[in-house]
Amino acid sequence: MRLVLLGPPGAGKGTQSSRLATELRAVHLSSGDILRAERKSQTELGKLAQTFMDAGSLVPDDLILRMMICRISGPEASGGFVLDGFPRTIPQAEGLDERLAMLKRPIDRVVSINADDSVVSRRLTGRWTCPKDSSVFNESYSPPRRAGVCDLCGTALVRRKDDEPQVVSQRLTTYHAETRPLIDYYRGRGVLTSIDGNAEIDDVYARIVAACRGNG
């Protein structure tokens, strides 16, 4: 299956995508994870993208399209994919549709995980990450056993720059202005299903699976 997950930052796209990829025997392609890997490796793309990511802004369409199309066209995605964080703008969606039409592999389903700004803001600003093994914890939902320390390796946890309160606010503003219009874009193509992302993680997952199986 070729699936796109939409939703504001903090809606749970990453958590759900990982589970869905296993369920659907597809590859999970997270634009955020890929970009952060590029940035950590200090590639040309990573350096260029860093200024946009740190400010909570979207990476320019041409850069993100080039990177994601390369992954989608690769052999790892031949059995299907779950796109997490991409596309984020109408031009990105149009570019993706054009490329997939050439490959004769159109999007099967788009799931929009809808969540209130207050909910996602609390999720993001309370999130802490292990810089060594990338484990993620949350002050409210999944705190570490020892405050500020990774359960797995004992490394001090850090807050990502894009989870700082002022950056989260900017990310939400950007989402409403540039990404939310994708809901109407995909609704017009008859592939959209909307899910309540304020619900518990397992409930959200069950609803997405039902939608993918044609029951939602």
CA distance 11 to 55: 20
- Residue 127 annotated in active site: yes
* pLDDT beyond 70 at 216: no
CA distance 206 to 216: 10
* pLDDT beyond 90 at 134: no
Domain count, the chain: 1
How much is the average pLDDT of 98-111? 94
Query: pLDDT exceeding 70 applies to what percent of the chain?
Result: 99
- Residue 88 annotated in active site: yes
Of these residues, 13, 36, 109, 207, which one is catalytic? 13
DSSP code at position 179: I
User: Could you tell me what percentage of the chain is helix, strand and coil, using 3-state DSSP and rounding each to the nearest 5?
Assistant: 50, 15, 35
Q: What is the CATH number of the domain that holds 42?
A: 3.40.50.300
Segment 164-214, tens digit of pLDDT: 999 999 999 999 999 999 999 999 999 999 999 998 889 999 999 999 887
Q: Which domain holds residue 30?
A: 2-212
* pLDDT beyond 60 at 25: yes
- Residue 2 annotated in active site: no
pLDDT level of residue 215 (50, 70, 90 thresholds): low
Question: How high is the pLDDT of residue 47?
Answer: 86
- Residue 132 annotated in active site: no
Greater confidence (38 vs 5) lies with: 5
- Residue 159 annotated in active site: no
* pLDDT beyond 90 at 32: no
Torsion of CA 203, 214, 16, 6, to 10 degrees: -110
